[in-house]
Structure 1
Amino acid sequence: MRLTLDAFARPIGAFRATLAATADEVRNYLATRQSSWEGKVARIGAQLGPLASGRIDVERFATLVEDHPEASPAALETLGGALAALGDLAGRSERLCVVELPAGGSLYEAVGGALGEIGRAFSAARLVSDVRAGRGKPGVGRTAAEALPFSRWTRAERRLAPPLVVRVQGADLRAAGLAEFLDGRQRLALVVEGECPPAPLARLITPGIFVLQSADGAGLDRLLAWDGPGIAALVPDSAARFAHDPGRGAAVWDRLAIESLPERVGRRAIGGFSAAQQMEELELLRSLSARPAGGEGRASAPGPAVAAAEATPADPADKLAAWLLSRVDLSDAG
């Protein structure tokens, strides 16, 4: 686990710094709006005069005059909720990006839940954006900074999220269902404990996804360098070791490099995967890596998925806070 967290320290740290910087911006914005509201109440109180004292609730009366809706009590409450969420997430440090799956647990549900919690940062940013733009009525329709499922993240949010590190028992390693989360620039790392099927990630190999099985962490740097989604599993020595790198070419046999395959598969099931299913995944790896006859001379160029990923540069870490607050693209929000 520590090896993987150290490898991912930079992107995890960058996301935490983004949360902290965004929280500072929201805090300053909230202070300005709070000052505006207090000034408005004082101004209206003066306009009502001494006869209103004790007879009229000046603060409540002030809410009826929506000349600055972003400074209303509801807006201030929404901003305060967003600030609290950002501060909470930033305070968790690397723990925000770590999942400890108990034996027998659902890998899919654990990863989905952890990403939803990370999504609270995007939920907070959306609320702040709504308040600043005067969209809707703050505090109405949804809870401030609630968990935001990955399925509702925008394209930009899927490129911004930090990697997730999951400790999982080999018998619970049902990785195929994680394909739903491999989009944008989301990276997942599975630290496998105990015996597991020999090629649990084989079914996730597609043209634009970096897929790595390693026994010692070799290749994690290449996963981080890939400007697209990816998944890695640190597996026991008994499992296959390979890397599928989308940047190496258009043909799958160019992209897939197999370091080693187990000589045989045991006869017993592992975590519900029969020996036949385990063998199927190994055969899938072999077939994908086999270069067809006459294919040696073909030029390899990046495929459409690779070109699309390369066309969209990563956002610099020092601009992410500003992006969260003023450049949130909700055109494809769920």
Structure 2
Amino acid sequence: MPSEQRIGIALEAIRPNRERFLSAVSTTTEEIRGLLHGTGETADDQTVSLGQFASGHVDVERFAAFTRSDSRLTPEASEPVRSAQRALNDLLQMDERLFVLEVEPGANLGAEVDKRLAVIGDAFAAAHLVDLAKRGRYREDQHAGLLDGLRYAGWSRAERKLSPGLVVAVDGADFAAAQVAPYLDEGMKLVFVVRGDAPAAALSRLVTPGVFVQQARENGSLEAFTAFDGTAVAALLPNDAVEFAHDPLAGDTTYERFTTLDFPREIRKRSIGGVSPAQQAEDLALLEALAVVPVPDGESASDPAGKLSAWLLNQTNLVGEK
């Protein structure tokens, strides 16, 4: 399946998060317009000052009351508020491009995700700045750098809950999924569109009790990922990857939460990027330990696990090999 088509599938998977985020950005933009231009005393005046952008999005009567009492800005705060307005408009003009990160070959996945989230964080920084201005607490020496990018580490819990999610297109050789673990918090949703050869169980180490984790092959469905109300990560991988879904709501024990687990017919032994066959074997063994249903005699209970165990036995002397 072409990469563009898979990116479209991934964007659709995070659509509810994107829409919630854009709604919040639009509301803040409208508030700024009211602060800078809303001097009318009636709802009709406010409709004119807000323009068509606000149509259908704002309770104009409520907004008119807000601007009558809070539209005064100090001269010191007026220009920074205009800067916040420009920053938000820039984000809105990026449209879907804001939510799609194309990782260049050889780049550090975690660092690139951090940079893009800092750009998205400008929306929250702009809201901080506007709030300070409304309350007359903006100080140039303290707050001038607010719009330099707000990294995810600086987002509040409420801001993390508003995260739009992110689609990340990355080469399989650079798909070090563990690097994104620090961003899986408070409803974050990440979808990776993986190009070329990739480790078969790349997301296995991101499986934790409260995170929805899914690996789908190229034409796999992400409907369960989208429907999950919470933190989630998914990857669209080549057809020789393990396909699985870990749903925190599916059961009390780890193996019950694996609603899907399908190993490919053949798992090739080869290095991928900096990931050796032995490291890939560890990822697959982790899936086996987490997902295979235990039986009284202690043996593995499923054919996929047996297939995996046989493959692992062949890895015994591969540590350090390329």
| Residue identity opposite 2:198 in structure 1 | C
Structure-1-length-normalised TM-score: 0.73
**CA contact under 8 A between 1:77 and 1:139: conserved in structure 2?**
no
Any gaps of 5 or more consecutive residues in structure 1? 34-67, 295-334
Partner of 1:2: 8
Q: CA deviation at 1:131?
A: 1.4
Partner of 1:236: 238
**CA contact under 8 A between 2:240 and 2:267: conserved in structure 1?**
no
* Higher RCO (C-alpha 8 Å, min separation 6): 1
Query: Residues 221 and 267 from structure 1, CA distance in 2 versus in 1: closer, same or farther, beyond 3 angstroms?
Result: closer
| Residue identity opposite 1:269 in structure 2 | S
**CA contact under 8 A between 1:265 and 1:279: conserved in structure 2?**
no
| Equivalent runs, 1:1-334 vs 2, <5 Å | 1-32=7-38, 71-138=73-140, 140-216=142-218, 218-293=220-295
- Secondary structure of the 1:192 match is strand
- Secondary structure of the 2:191 match is strand
Alpha-carbon distance in 1 for matches of 2:234, 2:271: 23
Q: CA deviation at 1:7?
A: 3.1
**CA contact under 8 A between 1:70 and 1:134: conserved in structure 2?**
no
Partner of 1:37: none
Alpha-carbon distance in 2 for matches of 1:222, 1:6: 12
Alpha-carbon distance in 1 for matches of 2:276, 2:194: 19
**CA contact under 8 A between 2:250 and 2:259: conserved in structure 1?**
no
**CA deviation string 1:271-304 (max 9, x = no partner):** 111111111111110110123346xxxxxxxxxx
- Secondary structure of the 1:99 match is strand
Alpha-carbon distance in 2 for matches of 1:277, 1:144: 42
Query: Residues 217 and 152 from structure 1, CA distance in 2 versus in 1: closer, same or farther, beyond 3 angstroms?
Result: farther
**CA contact under 8 A between 1:190 and 1:233: conserved in structure 2?**
yes
Any gaps of 5 or more consecutive residues in structure 2? 1-6, 40-69, 297-322
Alpha-carbon distance in 1 for matches of 2:140, 2:219: 46
| Residue identity opposite 2:157 in structure 1 | R
Alignment length (residue pairs) = 262
Q: Please, what is the CA RMSD of the aligned residues?
A: 2.3
Structure-2-length-normalised TM-score: 0.76
Query: Residues 187 and 24 from structure 1, CA distance in 2 versus in 1: closer, same or farther, beyond 3 angstroms?
Result: same
| Residue identity opposite 1:128 in structure 2 | V
**CA deviation string 1:78-108 (max 9, x = no partner):** 2111111111111111111010111111111
- Secondary structure of the 1:167 match is strand
| Residue identity opposite 1:181 in structure 2 | Y
Q: CA deviation at 1:218?
A: 3.7
Larger Rg: 1
**CA deviation string 1:191-212 (max 9, x = no partner):** 0010101100000000011100
Q: CA deviation at 1:137?
A: 1.9
Alpha-carbon distance in 2 for matches of 1:158, 1:181: 9
Query: Percent of aligned pairs with the same residue?
Result: 38
Alpha-carbon distance in 2 for matches of 1:144, 1:30: 19
**CA contact under 8 A between 2:204 and 2:286: conserved in structure 1?**
yes
Q: CA deviation at 1:139?
A: 6.1
Alpha-carbon distance in 2 for matches of 1:23, 1:123: 13
- Secondary structure of the 1:75 match is helix
Q: CA deviation at 1:267?
A: 2.9
Query: Residues 141 and 128 from structure 1, CA distance in 2 versus in 1: closer, same or farther, beyond 3 angstroms?
Result: closer
- Secondary structure of the 1:270 match is coil
Q: CA deviation at 1:15?
A: 2.3
**CA contact under 8 A between 2:163 and 2:188: conserved in structure 1?**
yes
